[in-house]
Structure 1
């Protein structure tokens, strides 16, 4: 019984020692205030938060979503090809390509592919 209490006490002391050592070693130095300031999306947080936001960032995100969803939809095509016949696979693939072409046309029509503006 006394041995169990002694082991628990030793483990408690080791745990406290390790926690104190970790807290002493993990203290951050406050020499550089720029490293401690929040940084998000490349905007300086010390200026006004009502700066005009470039619409180009939003359009790039839309392009990314269209072609990112393309990859997510292409992966199950292998299973569809194994489970169905050739005509249904080609029709599914053509519908998929039609969606991509419509998305690309929409982005082109909105002018988001013109980088000179």
Structure 2
């Protein structure tokens, strides 16, 4: 019992000493111009790294993630189909697929899926 307590105390003391030494040894600067500037393979950047991105690309990426997660939800539904075929299961699957299709239809009608306008 004493060995466990001694080893826990030793490991805590050792980790605290290492953290204190690391904070004392490391030198930090509040603001460094080189660290704050964008890095492009050692060259000066040709354009601003803070340039805005296409919101259309972002929306399509979010739609991809949503449909990717829903595929992960649909796969177990298909695997359980041979064991469970009751009214509640059918109602749940139908509601899930209806919401999925209505969401896709809504995005399509709002023009999110059109890349060029």
Q: In 2, distance between residues paired with 1:67 and 1:74?
A: 10
Deviation at 1:108, TM superposition (A): 1.6
Aligned residues between the structures: 76
Give CA-to-partner distance per residue, 1:72-104, whole Å, 9 cap, x none.
Answer: 011111343244333223212211211211320
Aligned-partner SS, 1:76: helix
How high is the TM-score relative to the length of structure 2? 0.52
Q: How does 1:53-92 map to 2 (within 5 A)?
A: 53-92=53-92
Q: How does 1:1-117 map to 2 (within 5 A)?
A: 37=41, 46-117=46-117
Q: In 2, distance between residues paired with 1:60 and 1:96?
A: 21
Q: Which runs of 5+ in 2 are unaligned?
A: 1-39
Q: In 2, distance between residues paired with 1:114 and 1:75?
A: 28
C-alpha root-mean-square deviation of aligned residues, in Å? 2.4
Q: Which runs of 5+ in 1 are unaligned?
A: 1-35, 39-44
Query: Which gives a bigger RCO, structure 1 or 2 (Cα 8 Å, sep 6+)?
Result: 2
Comparing 88-97 and 78-87, the one that deviates more? 78-87
Q: Which residue of 1 aligns with 2:32?
A: none
